[in-house]
Amino acid sequence: MITTDELHSKIFTIRGVQVMIDRDLAELYGVQTKVLNQAVKRNKSRFPDVFCFKFNKDEFMNWKSQFVTSNSEKMGLRHLPYAFTEQGVAMLSTVMMLSKRNQQCEAIIYTQKINAQLKLDLAKHNEQYPLIEVKELKNVHDRFLIIDKKELYHIGASLKDLGRKWFAFSKLDEFLPDVLERLR
pLDDT digits (tens, 9 = 90+) for 11-64: 888 888 889 999 998 888 778 898 899 888 888 888 888 899 998 888 888 887
Closest-CA residue to 28 (of 45, 11, 14, 52): 11
Rounded to whole angstroms, how far apart are CA atoms 120 and 112?
A: 17
Q: Does residue 72 carry a pLDDT above 60?
A: no
* pTM for the structure as a whole: 0.56
